[in-house]
C-alpha cells in the first residue's frame, strides 16, 4: 500500500477537465485509488467524488493506492499532476 501526498499545481485546480484526465489514468489500474484531504478520502475513479473535493491550486492532497499495480498507478498520477494536466497556462 502506498500512502503519500501530491500537490495541485495547475492554475485551475482539480476542475472538470482535469478530473476527467485523472479518471482516464486511474481507471486503467486495478488498484484501489483514493485521494482527498487528510482523512476525507474519495474514490479517484469517480468523477463526481473528485469534483466534490474542491481542490484548488496550492492544495496538498493525500493519495492512497493499494493493489498489484500500485507503483505504476502512482507513477502515472504523479506525471499527470507534474504536467499540470497538460493544460495551457
pLDDT tens digits for 18-66?
999 999 999 999 999 999 998 899 999 999 999 999 899 999 999 999 9
Taking the C-alpha atoms of residue 42 and residue 44, their distance in angstroms, rounded to an integer, is 6
Going by C-beta distance under 8 Å and a sequence separation of 6 or more, which residues neighbour residue 78? 6
Q: Write down the domain spans for the chain.
A: 2-86
pLDDT of residue 56: 92
pLDDT of residue 88: 75
pLDDT of residue 89: 64
CATH classification (class only), 2-86? alpha beta
Report the catalytic residues: 15
Closest to 15 (Cα-Cα) out of 63, 58, 47: 47
Taking the C-alpha atoms of residue 13 and residue 81, their distance in angstroms, rounded to an integer, is 10
467524488: which residue's cell?
A: 49
Is 7 within 8 Å of 60 (Cβ atoms)? yes
**Considering the entire predicted model, what is its pTM?**
0.94
pLDDT above 70 for 69: yes
pLDDT of residue 87: 87
Which has more confidence, 88 or 53? Answer: 53
pLDDT of residue 38: 86
Amino acid at each position: 500500500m502506498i500512502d503519500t501526498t501530491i500537490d495541485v499545481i495547475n492554475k485551475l485546480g482539480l476542475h472538470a477537465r482535469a478530473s476527467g484526465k485523472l479518471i482516464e489514468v486511474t481507471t486503467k489500474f486495478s488498484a484501489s485509488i483514493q485521494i482527498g484531504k487528510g482523512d476525507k478520502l474519495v474514490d479517484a475513479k469517480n468523477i463526481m467524488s473528485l469534483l466534490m473535493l474542491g481542490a484548488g491550486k496550492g492544495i496538498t492532497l493525500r493519495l492512497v493506492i493499494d493493489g498489484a499495480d500500485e507503483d505504476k498507478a502512482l507513477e502515472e498520477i504523479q506525471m499527470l499532476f507534474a504536467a499540470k494536466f497538460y493544460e495551457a497556462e
